[in-house]
Amino acid sequence: MTMTETKENYDLTPRIAPNLDRHLVFPILEFLQERVLYPDEQILKKKIELLNNTNMVDYAMDIHKSLYHTEDAPQDMVERRAEVVARLKSLEEAAAPLVTFLLNPNALQELRADKQYNLQMLKERYQIGPDQIEALYQYAKFQFECGNYSGAADYLYQYRTLCSNLERSLSALWGKLASEILMQNWDIALEELNRLKEIIDSKSFSSPLNQVQNRIWLMHWGLYIFFNHDNGRTQIIDLFNQDKYLNAIQTSAPHLLRYLATAFIVNKRRRPQLKEFIKVIQQEHYSYKDPIIDFLACVFVNYDFDGAQKKMKECEEVIVNDPFLGKRVEDGNFSTVPLRDEFLENARLFIFETYCKIHQRIDMGVLAEKLNLNYEEAERWIENLIRTSKLDAKIDSKSGTVIMEPTQPNVHEQLINHTKALSGRTYKLVTQLVEHTQGQAAR
């Protein structure tokens, strides 16, 4: 794909897409097409390329007709459609005994929490065995490939209640998560994400690298949830900021720092954890460049407030053009306002708070320039901070300055913060000791 150089540098699609199921890439391409970030022809060709390995043949035909301005679909697509229909019918017949059972409310009441009992009961009373259960998985997977995410989600859920193969059950859970994301069922998707995380963190993988890769996939898929779920901006910090996940980001997926940094900026409840994240920024911002990362480095590492003010403009463009940060679906309408405005407001607050720690008396004109506001806007903004008790200062209108009131350190708060830090380090040491002991025992 080609695009203007600046926007191309901002677009993370080439880094993100390889870590997603191909069905999860379609919403990104739709976003890029809506934003006209690439020529329409390139987007359509990418869509067809993705669709070639799915069963969404009708969709591929529609795109082909749109791309080449024709009413005729190529013969290979027509033949492929016939194959898909025949295969779907075959799988439907193979899964029919179990599907019929699952659609019968009275029969479902015979199921218990004991998986082994259920398998035995199905075999004895309904002649449903491993072959029919496997057929249900194949049928659900085929439904997913056809784009029937609702049907796939239902059948994959039922399959997991009967499946005794751990690897196949894990595969079904990934499919269930993708289905819920694509249907925008954010509450259920978050539940499935957390369920997957528990398995990934506790499962014995063939190699540590395999486990790291699963964590990277989980974080990428989670981006859809974190910036759509009501509590997502807290959830992303809770997940990405864990040592094992943060290490995976730093070693294999530094581009994910954009989303963690954004969450820290817009989430005031996680402000106490920002200090530790700034240390990560110090380590990474020379090797990985991103306007949002650079903004935090300007404010908290280099105290370059002029640079931070310039970076804010770049950050705004990044957010508007990012598929996860720049899109909100409200009654089908495309909107980029909420996160962008919230980001800019908090970014100004970061600049202001940090600048005030260095200067006791601040010229209003200089401050307005650094906040990217005119004089009147800056004055109203600061007055509002003082009025809402977010700022311990006063405005000297005659001299056109803001005078910061001296604050004494709260010994009680300092003690609590130190205790929290000590508790966190103790927990980390104990966890490492347990993992080491388990590793030795396994040898």
pLDDT of residue 358: 84
pLDDT of residue 427: 52
* 68 in any annotated domain: no
Neighbours of 398 (CB within 10 A): 6
DSSP assigned state of 203:
S
pLDDT of residue 397: 87
What is the number of structural domains in the chain?
2
Classify burial at 361, counting beta carbons within 10 Å of its beta carbon; exposed 0-12, middle 13-18, buried 19 or more. Answer: exposed
Dist. CA 387–CA 174, nearest whole Å: 49
* 107 in any annotated domain: no
pLDDT of residue 370: 83
Q: Which residues, given as ranges, of the chain have pLDDT below 50?
A: 2-5, 329-337, 411, 442-443
122 in Cβ contact with 101 (< 8 Å): yes
- Cα 441 to the chain's mean position, in Å? 36
Provide DSSP, 29-86.
Answer: HHHHHHTT-S-HHHHHHHHHHHHTTSS-HHHHHHHHHHHHT-S---HHHHHHHHHHHH
Q: Where does a domain end: 234, 253, 272? A: 253
CA distances from 143 to 138, 147, 179 (A): 9, 6, 10
* 357 in any annotated domain: no
Dist. CA 392–CA 302, nearest whole Å: 25
pLDDT of residue 335: 44
Question: Residue 333's beta-bridge partner residues?
Answer: 330
pLDDT of residue 385: 84
DSSP assigned state of 392:
-
Sign of the C-alpha dihedral computed for residues 16, 17, 22 and 24 taken in this order? positive
Which tokens sit at 123? 């075999």
Dist. CA 419–CA 408, nearest whole Å: 20
For tokens 């056809």, the residue is 146
* 209 in any annotated domain: yes
258 in Cβ contact with 290 (< 8 Å): yes
Q: Where does a domain end: 253, 281, 296? A: 253
* 42 in any annotated domain: no
127 in Cβ contact with 97 (< 8 Å): yes
* 333 in any annotated domain: no
Question: For residue 437, what are the domain limits?
Answer: 414-442
Q: Where does a domain end: 206, 234, 253? A: 253
* 79 in any annotated domain: no
* 421 in any annotated domain: yes
Residue 81 phi/psi, 5-degree rounding, is -60, -40
Dist. CA 227–CA 90, nearest whole Å: 40
